[in-house]
Copies of this chain bind each other. A is one copy, B any other.
Amino acid sequence: MADPAKRLPLLPAERALKVISGRWKAIILYHLWDGSKRLSELGRLLPGVSQKVMIQQLREMEEHGLVNREVFRQVPPRVEYSATELGLSLEPVLLALCDWGRHHAEELDELDRVTDCRTSRRPSLLKHSSLSSGESLHRRS
């Protein structure tokens, strides 16, 4: 059930893109970098994403080694999802993508249509803030 059969592209760049670009994978990873999360927690963090879809994304990421799934045999089921080493190693890459994304928006005069690279986890805030410059938010150096 792991990786057999359905192979990834031969070109590394395409492989990377294929692995990363699922509708919700990037944001899910952003959240998992903050620590492991239960399915229900992710659901709360990303309202608008149905449970089925969330699980789909997580499973694919698991197959690709980005995410770890840990099951606790408890009464109300408890499952924790966390980023693997591979998942963590994506941080600089996604950060680069984020920076370029803003650069792209800037060049097209659409800076008002993108969020800050760190506020990604709060897309609803963008209304007021144009681009928060105050740093903050440091994680695993």
- Residues of chain B within 8 A of A8, CB atoms compared: 105, 110, 113
Complex CA distance for A3 and B64, rounded to whole angstroms: 34
Q: Is there a chain B Cβ closer than 8 Å to A134's Cβ?
A: no
Complex CA distance for A108 and B117, rounded to whole angstroms: 29
Given the contacts A104-B65, A104-B86, A27 and B11 also touching, CB distance less than 8 Å: yes
Q: Is there a chain B Cβ closer than 8 Å to A92's Cβ?
A: yes
Q: Which residue of the partner chain, among B10, B90, B96, B110, contacts A93 with CB atoms under 8 Å?
A: B96
Q: Which of A14-22, A35-43, A47-55, A70-78 lies at the binding interface?
A: A14-22
Q: What per-residue 1/0 map shows which CB atoms of A115-141 lie under 8 Å from chain B?
A: 101001001001000010000000000
The 8 residue pairs across chains A and B that have the minimum distance between CB atoms: A12-B101, A16-B101, A15-B101, A16-B97, A13-B98, A12-B98, A17-B21, A13-B97
